[in-house]
Amino acid sequence: MSENNERPKVNLADAIRQKLEQKKQNSSAKPGANFQAGSAKPLKSQNNKKPNNQRRRTGGS
Protein backbone atom coordinates (compact mmCIF):
# COMPACT_ATOMS: atom_id res chain seq x y z
CA MET A 1 0.00 0.00 0.00
CA SER A 2 2.77 2.49 0.85
CA GLU A 3 4.35 1.85 -2.58
CA ASN A 4 1.47 3.65 -4.29
CA ASN A 5 2.23 6.97 -2.61
CA GLU A 6 1.84 9.66 -5.27
CA ARG A 7 3.54 12.33 -3.17
CA PRO A 8 7.33 12.34 -3.20
CA LYS A 9 8.92 12.78 0.22
CA VAL A 10 9.70 16.43 0.87
CA ASN A 11 12.35 17.71 3.22
CA LEU A 12 10.87 19.80 6.06
CA ALA A 13 13.22 22.71 5.38
CA ASP A 14 12.24 22.71 1.71
CA ALA A 15 8.55 22.68 2.61
CA ILE A 16 9.03 25.67 4.93
CA ARG A 17 10.94 27.57 2.25
CA GLN A 18 8.14 26.92 -0.23
CA LYS A 19 5.53 28.18 2.23
CA LEU A 20 7.55 31.34 2.87
CA GLU A 21 7.90 31.96 -0.85
CA GLN A 22 4.14 31.59 -1.28
CA LYS A 23 3.51 34.05 1.54
CA LYS A 24 5.95 36.56 0.05
CA GLN A 25 4.34 36.29 -3.37
CA ASN A 26 0.84 36.67 -1.93
CA SER A 27 1.78 39.70 0.15
CA SER A 28 3.65 41.37 -2.70
CA ALA A 29 0.70 40.88 -5.04
CA LYS A 30 -1.65 42.69 -2.62
CA PRO A 31 0.23 45.48 -0.79
CA GLY A 32 -2.74 46.37 1.44
CA ALA A 33 -3.60 42.78 2.32
CA ASN A 34 -1.66 42.77 5.60
CA PHE A 35 -3.75 45.59 7.09
CA GLN A 36 -7.10 44.58 8.53
CA ALA A 37 -9.62 47.34 9.07
CA GLY A 38 -10.56 47.80 12.71
CA SER A 39 -7.65 45.79 14.04
CA ALA A 40 -5.43 48.81 14.70
CA LYS A 41 -5.37 49.85 18.35
CA PRO A 42 -5.82 53.52 19.17
CA LEU A 43 -2.57 55.24 20.07
CA LYS A 44 -1.99 55.82 23.76
CA SER A 45 0.14 58.39 25.50
CA GLN A 46 3.41 56.91 26.66
CA ASN A 47 3.70 59.27 29.64
CA ASN A 48 2.22 56.93 32.18
CA LYS A 49 5.06 56.53 34.67
CA LYS A 50 3.92 57.68 38.08
CA PRO A 51 6.18 59.85 40.21
CA ASN A 52 7.95 58.24 43.16
CA ASN A 53 6.43 59.70 46.37
CA GLN A 54 8.54 57.69 48.77
CA ARG A 55 10.17 60.88 50.10
CA ARG A 56 6.80 62.45 50.80
CA ARG A 57 5.47 59.30 52.48
CA THR A 58 8.47 58.72 54.68
CA GLY A 59 9.08 62.36 55.59
CA GLY A 60 12.17 62.88 53.41
CA SER A 61 15.61 63.81 54.66
Q: Evaluate if residue 37 carries a pLDDT over 50.
A: yes
**How many Å from the N-terminal Cα to the C-terminal Cα in the chain?**
85
Q: Which residue has the higher pLDDT, 24 or 39?
A: 24
Q: Calculate the dihedral angle through the C-alpha atoms of 6, 11, 15, 21, rounding to the nearest 10 degrees.
A: -120
Q: Evaluate if residue 1 carries a pLDDT over 50.
A: no
Helical H segments across the chain, by residue range: 12-29, 54-58
pTM of the model: 0.35
DSSP state of 9: P
Cβ atoms of 24 and 31 within 8 Å: the answer is no
pLDDT band for position 3 (cuts 50, 70, 90): low
Q: Which residue has the higher pLDDT, 51 or 22?
A: 22
pLDDT band for position 60 (cuts 50, 70, 90): low
DSSP state of 37: T
